[in-house]
Amino acid sequence: MINLLNISKNALAAHQFSLGVTSSNIANVNTPGYSRQRPELRTLGTTDVKAGNITLSVNVTEVRRIYDNHLERQVIGQIQTAAYSSEQKSLLARLESIFEESQGGKLADNLNRFWQAWDGLALNPDGWVERRALLSETESLAHTFRDYDASLRGLTADIQERLSDSIRKVNDLLPKIADLNRRIIEVAKDDGSLNSLRDQRTELIKELASKMEIDHFENEWGAANIFLANGQNLVNNHVSELLVLNSDRTIMISGYPGIIINDTVSKAENGQISAQLRIAGRQIPEYLAKLDQLARAITEAVNSQHRLGYDQGGNAGGNFFVPTTTARGMAVNITEPRRIAASLTVGNDGQNARSIALINDKHVIDGTATINQFFASLVGQVGLDLARAQGMDEHRQLVLNNLMQRREEFSGVSIDEEMMNLIKFQLGYNAAGRLVKTADELLETLIRLGS
């Protein structure tokens, strides 16, 4: 008879505990990374028919975290690729705004006006206004070139800042993960008390994954070990490493020789850092090199033609631009309008200005492209790079969204379900209460029998 009371006591406790689990689920319905939990109810006790004894009660053996490790790994993998493409997209969008030629008024326009000024001078070779106008168009052209160069270099410096922010964040995350590992290892048996720690750790790993390409697995003690793509350990049980960013945008592990990440080592398109390295280390230098090539072609072509002519003082034309091979070195050599060599003879024929204006139509870049074609294709390339990154990002975000949906489907909290659980456990609790009452009545009957 006392058994009956014991059974109902256990049932009451188990259901009360289950109601607690349900309420935790409801409370955390909006907590990011929270995995729903389920009480594991098990029968307790024995049945001995011969002795006429049955004591099958219930207890909660563990609180199970509903979690699909495989799915979570997929999410983490996708976070890496999605973070790469989204960072790439936003950095390329900044490049796009530097190369904003669609509304006119920038380099393409400057170039057009520059050649136009030469053609104008050809019509009136001794015109002071035409000469002045040419010089000011040239100043503005050179300035636009230098501006482009400065903007691109400015963006590189910005990316360097972003990189060091990313590294700081990574250095903040690694010890936190190691610390959670330590706390998880310390608890020998996992009956559900570690669920929230694990959830927290998964969230931190996701955050880390958005920064850089990592690999992780959980070892037999429950610690999540973090590796770089090349196998280098970042977190090993409760020990974490420290990353160091060098000024040449290479990343090393503090205390170890050898570069672990740079824009050529990191081939994978994973994580923000990889995108930052790639754009600062490859894309921008590529654009800069093309701008340099353009500046050099203009400088050399104009200078060599200009030297063939004569200025208004009967002097052989010198260099029109300061000889340079870079966009940032672009500058006008001639300060006095009189010194522009507009004519091919010491007379006033304007034919040199006309010849210079014709450079516009010549294939001066590697003998295959005109200056305008070359620049237009550079601008097109910047646009294409961004358009491609946008398309890629859209796709990757969609995949990520789908995976998160699947994760939510599996591990997320459903209010309806929890309500049903609430009703279920409440009913069980009520029934167990009723059991106590019945046991009480039985006892009373027994006592009355004995009295």
Least distance in angstroms from the C-beta of 287 to other proteins: 13
Cβ contact 122:351 at 8 Å = yes
Among 220, 248, 366, 416, binds other proteins (CB under 8 A): 416
Cβ contact 338:111 at 8 Å = no
Binding mask 24-63 for other proteins (x = CB under 8 A): -----xx---------------------------------
Q: Does 270 bind other proteins (CB under 8 A)?
A: no
**Quick one: CA torsion of 235, 236, 242, 243, rounded to 10 degrees?**
-60
> What count of residues does the chain have?
451
CA distance 166 to 279: 15
Among 9, 64, 113, 176, binds other proteins (CB under 8 A): 113
Q: Does 145 bind other proteins (CB under 8 A)?
A: no
Least distance in angstroms from the C-beta of 350 to other proteins: 7
Among 349, 369, 433, 436, binds other proteins (CB under 8 A): 349
Q: Does 384 bind other proteins (CB under 8 A)?
A: yes
Least distance in angstroms from the C-beta of 113 to other proteins: 8
* Nearer of residues 56 and 387 to other proteins, judged by Cβ: 387
* Nearer of residues 128 and 221 to other proteins, judged by Cβ: 128
DSSP 281: I
Least distance in angstroms from the C-beta of 320 to other proteins: 15
Cβ contact 228:256 at 8 Å = no
Cβ contact 40:60 at 8 Å = yes
Among 243, 301, 379, 439, binds other proteins (CB under 8 A): 379
Number of residues that bind other proteins (CB under 8 A): 75
Least distance in angstroms from the C-beta of 278 to other proteins: 18
- Separation in Å, CA 141 to CA 112, 268, 323: 10, 39, 15
CA distance 93 to 436: 70
Q: At what angle do helices 195-211 and 271-278 cross, to 10 degrees?
A: 10
Among 187, 387, 431, 446, binds other proteins (CB under 8 A): 387
* Nearer of residues 183 and 307 to other proteins, judged by Cβ: 307
Q: Does 405 bind other proteins (CB under 8 A)?
A: yes
Q: Does 404 bind other proteins (CB under 8 A)?
A: yes
Q: Does 304 bind other proteins (CB under 8 A)?
A: no
Binding mask 325-344 for other proteins (x = CB under 8 A): -------------xx---xx
Q: Does 104 bind other proteins (CB under 8 A)?
A: yes
- Separation in Å, CA 335 to CA 115, 134, 177, 306, 318: 18, 11, 64, 14, 12
Q: Does 16 bind other proteins (CB under 8 A)?
A: no
Cβ contact 426:434 at 8 Å = no
Binding range to other proteins, per CB under 8 A, among 8-16, 95-103, 231-239, 260-268: 95-103
Query: What is the maximum alpha-carbon separation in the chain?
Result: 144
CA distance 129 to 142: 20
Among 141, 163, 224, 413, binds other proteins (CB under 8 A): 413
CA distance 213 to 255: 21
Among 129, 420, 431, 442, binds other proteins (CB under 8 A): 420
Q: Does 219 bind other proteins (CB under 8 A)?
A: no
Least distance in angstroms from the C-beta of 419 to other proteins: 4
> 3-state DSSP call for residue 73?
helix
Q: Does 138 bind other proteins (CB under 8 A)?
A: no
Which of 212, 196, 199, 205 has the alpha carbon at shortest distance from 177? 205
Q: Does 358 bind other proteins (CB under 8 A)?
A: yes
Number of neighbours of residue 206 by Cβ within 10 angstroms: 17
Strand partners, 261: 251
Q: Does 368 bind other proteins (CB under 8 A)?
A: no
Among 16, 133, 414, 424, binds other proteins (CB under 8 A): 414
CA distance 165 to 326: 31
DSSP 361: G
Least distance in angstroms from the C-beta of 292 to other proteins: 19
